[in-house]
Amino acid sequence: MRRLPRVRPELLGLAVIGGIVVLGVPTVTNQFVTFEFAKVAIFAIALMGLNLLTGYSGQISLGNGAFMAVGGYTTAILVQRTGIPYWTTIPVAALVAGGFGFVIGIPALRLTGVYLALATFALALSVPPVLNHYDTFTGGHGGIVMPAVLPPFSLDLSQEQWLYYMDSGIALLLFVFAWGVVRSRTGRAFMAIRDSETAATASGISLAYYKTLAFGLSAAYAGVAGSLLAIATSYLNPDTFGLSLSLALLVGVVIGGLGLDFGAVFGSLFVVWLPYYAEKASGLHIGALSFAGKPDIFYGALLIVILFFAPNGAAGLLQRAWRWYLHRRTAVRSPLPEPVAER
């Protein structure tokens, strides 16, 4: 009988504390903070997908905001025009966005590095004008208004609390799935392609299959995130999915930690809360110097500071701290050998 891997008590304790914190957040925060943490869960899903594509398979994408738009508009159009329950549109949004990403991944096979980044950058630029042009289908500048989401089964929760728990639950499920993918044969193929396409091909790995699969998976995650964003805000227009969204996703996955399990979680916290605190900090006065109305200055400065002290992202910094802790603990538990007495 195969024995289960031993779990360190420190990790188990951290997991319990993390679970208590996640469950308790909406009970001790106001509606605004609860809603913002619901958005953290939404962006964590989008960053998980981008991490699979960029962090693990090595394909730089500046267009995942476009995949979020596909998922968001799939949900908004289905809910508005057919009246079906919003939760049934989430898997549909994942399939539609995943198929769109798979199709985009086919021509992207001929591109690598900065050329792939420029191609996906063009995709992010083109989506808002396309959505505006087909206004009879997408609502154009006016956007699409959806019914507000209410807790099911008469649960004693506010709308923000229900959104938080729903989004966090879906994010947890997708995190487990991504964790499994990374540790499977598919994940090993992704990392082999990232490290060396030549060596991966020599090992019998199909570049065409795994590269397009990475695009499809990443787009499916982004589609779920776009769907949940539409459900949370109850309103969409093309400006929601502008170029700034795709850039924010790339910044978030780098700040969180490329190719690291919890990078998406930390990255989503930065994507949601860093602009907010930069806005707050822009009201500070240093003598006669004032930065009022210029939050981008603090946003950029904070990014530089974070990358300087954590070049591998927040998850990389915590990983280094954990290894240091294990090293210190091993050193304390291993006594030095007693000196041999001279005769």
Q: What is the pLDDT of residues 190-229, one digit of tens each?
A: 999 998 888 989 988 988 899 999 999 999 999 999 999 9
Please check the confidence at residue 282 and state whether its pLDDT lies above 90.
no
Helix (H, G, I), strand (E, B) or coil at 285: strand
The owner of tokens 């959806």 is 146
pTM, 2 dp: 0.89
**Tens digit of each residue's pLDDT (9 = 90 or more) over 287-314:** 555 556 666 777 777 788 888 888 888 8
Q: Following DSSP, what letter does each residue of 295-340 receive, concatenated? A: HHHHHHHHHHHHHHH-TTHHHHHHHHHHHHHHHHHHHHHSPPPPPP
**Rounded-to-integer distance, Cα 118 and Cα 107, Å:** 13
pLDDT (average), residues 154-160:
85
Distance of CA 106 to the CA centre of its chain: 23
**Tens digit of each residue's pLDDT (9 = 90 or more) over 221-270:** 999 999 999 999 988 888 888 888 988 999 999 998 888 888 888 999 98
Please check the confidence at residue 10 and state whether its pLDDT lies above 70.
no
H helices, E strands: number in the chain: 14, 4
Which token pair is 151?
């807790």
Contact of 116 with 108, CB cutoff 8 Å: yes
Domain borders along the chain are: 26-258
**Rounded-to-integer distance, Cα 157 and Cα 168, Å:** 15
Instruction: Say what the pLDDT of residue 332 is.
Output: 66
* Burial class, 96, CB count within 10 angstroms (exposed 0-12 / middle 13-18 / buried 19+): buried
How far apart, in Å, are the Cα atoms of 86 and each of 66, 139, 155, 184? 21, 19, 17, 32
Contact of 271 with 302, CB cutoff 8 Å: no
Instruction: Say what the pLDDT of residue 96 is.
Output: 95
How far apart, in Å, are the Cα atoms of 126 and each of 14, 49, 119? 44, 21, 11
**Rounded-to-integer distance, Cα 75 and Cα 63, Å:** 20
**Residue 236: φ, ψ to 5°:** -135, 145
Task: Count CB-CB contacts under 10 A for residue 114.
Answer: 10
- Please state at what angle helix 113-133 crosses helix 243-256, rounded to 10 degrees: 140
Contact of 316 with 260, CB cutoff 8 Å: yes
